[in-house]
Every structure is written in structure tokens, then in C-alpha cells.
């Protein structure tokens, strides 16, 4: 995790928790000539609204101005992670059991690098997913250290 993200997380976490919200993710990216600090928040129920985003933005902005951890100019964006929110922490995987997810790996697992299906088990080092390939339903085990990206996905077959 980059130093900027670590510092922003230290500032954002108390603000978000005090409001009864969850800090989902933080990104610090350069797009074109501009830098963006994106903070993704949600409620435990998954129904964040624009007023809650505005509250966090205002309070976090004050903290960022006070401590000034980012030397360059940037745009602060606070928003919902959306329907396809990332799965990064152990708690994220635990909440996702039984849900439809997408996983991309660094290297092939059973000859594939992309998986979409239901997360059926979350063990300390491995995810177990039930996926469909054409007419077959398979169970695949994916080592967590091989996961490049994991997120909720929308199941269009349902």
C-alpha cells in the first residue's frame, strides 16, 4: 500500500467509523494531468446515500487540509463502491459467501485466469467458487495469494 493511501486511511477511518459507515477502499491515481484521491464508503447494509458521502468528504477534506499529507494538487472524490464493489479484506470475503463474484488471478488456476460465479466457501488461504462453463457447473479452489482482483459481479443469467 502506498504511503499516501496509508496516511489517508489513518485520517479517513475515524471519520467514517464515527458516522457509522464502512471504509471500503482508497485510490490515489493520476489521470491525464490530474491527481484523484478516491475514497469509497458504504453502510453495513450497502445503501450509502449522497448526504453521507458529502459528510465524509467535508470532514475528510478538513483533516487533509490540517495534516497536508499529499504534496501535489488533487481532487477528492467520496462515493459508493457501486454494485461491483471490490473484495479486499477478509471481512469482505466472509460477507460475500453465497454471492456472485468475479475473480482474476495473477497466473492460471485450472487453465484459467478469470472466474465468475458463486463464492461457496472462504477459508484463510483459499476461496472456493462454483462456476459455470457452458453447461457444466464446476467447483474451483483459488489461493488468495494468486488473486489480482476480486469484486462482486452482476449475475445476468439469473
Summarised one tens digit per residue, pLDDT across range 108-121 is 998 999 999 999 99
Ordered by start, the domain boundaries in the chain are: 3-79, 90-152
- Top pLDDT among 157 and 7 is at 7
Whether 157 has a pLDDT exceeding 80, the answer reads no
Number of Cα atoms under 13 Å in the Cβ half of residue 68: 4
Looking at the domain 90-152, which fold is it? SH3 type barrels. (2.30.30)
Q: By the 8 A CB rule, do 73 and 35 touch?
A: yes
Cβ neighbours of residue 57 under 8 Å, at least 6 residues apart? 39, 76, 77, 78
What CATH code is assigned to 3-79? 3.30.300.70
**Mean pLDDT of the region 63-69:** 92
Secondary structure (3-state) at 108? strand
Q: By the 8 A CB rule, do 153 and 118 touch?
A: no
Whether 83 has a pLDDT exceeding 90, the answer reads no
**What are the b/e assignments for 37-53, b being 16+ CB within 10 Å?**
bbbbbbeeeeebeeebb
| C-alpha distances in Å from residue 25, one per residue of 20, 111, 158 | 16, 30, 28
Q: Which of 27-31, 50-54, 133-137, 147-151 has the lowest mean pLDDT?
A: 133-137
**Mean pLDDT of the region 118-146:** 93
pLDDT-derived band at 155 (thresholds 50, 70, 90) equals confident
**Mean pLDDT of the region 10-16:** 95
pLDDT-derived band at 78 (thresholds 50, 70, 90) equals very high
Summarised one tens digit per residue, pLDDT across range 141-153 is 999 999 999 999 9
Whether 1 has a pLDDT exceeding 70, the answer reads no
Residue 40 bridge partners (DSSP): 25, 79
**Mean pLDDT of the region 11-21:** 95
Amino acid at each position: 500500500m502506498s504511503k499516501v493511501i496509508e496516511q489517508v486511511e489513518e485520517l479517513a477511518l475515524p471519520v467514517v467509523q464515527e458516522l457509522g459507515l464502512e471504509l471500503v477502499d482508497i485510490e490515489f491515481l493520476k489521470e491525464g494531468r490530474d491527481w484523484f484521491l478516491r475514497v469509497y464508503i458504504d453502510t453495513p447494509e450497502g445503501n450509502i446515500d449522497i448526504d453521507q458521502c458529502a459528510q465524509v468528504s467535508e470532514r475528510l477534506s478538513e483533516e487533509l487540509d490540517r495534516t497536508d499529507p499529499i504534496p501535489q494538487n488533487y481532487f477528492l472524490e467520496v462515493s459508493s463502491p457501486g454494485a461491483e464493489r471490490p473484495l479486499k479484506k477478509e471481512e469482505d470475503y466472509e460477507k460475500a459467501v453465497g454471492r456472485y463474484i468475479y475473480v482474476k488471478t495473477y497466473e492460471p488456476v485450472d487453465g484459467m485466469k478469470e472466474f465468475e460465479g458463486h463464492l461457496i466457501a472462504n477459508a484463510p488461504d483459499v476461496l472456493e467458487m462454483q462456476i459455470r462453463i457452458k453447461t457444466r457447473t464446476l467447483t474451483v479452489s483459488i489461493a488468495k495469494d494468486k488473486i489480482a482482483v476480486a469484486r462482486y459481479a452482476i449475475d445476468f443469467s439469473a
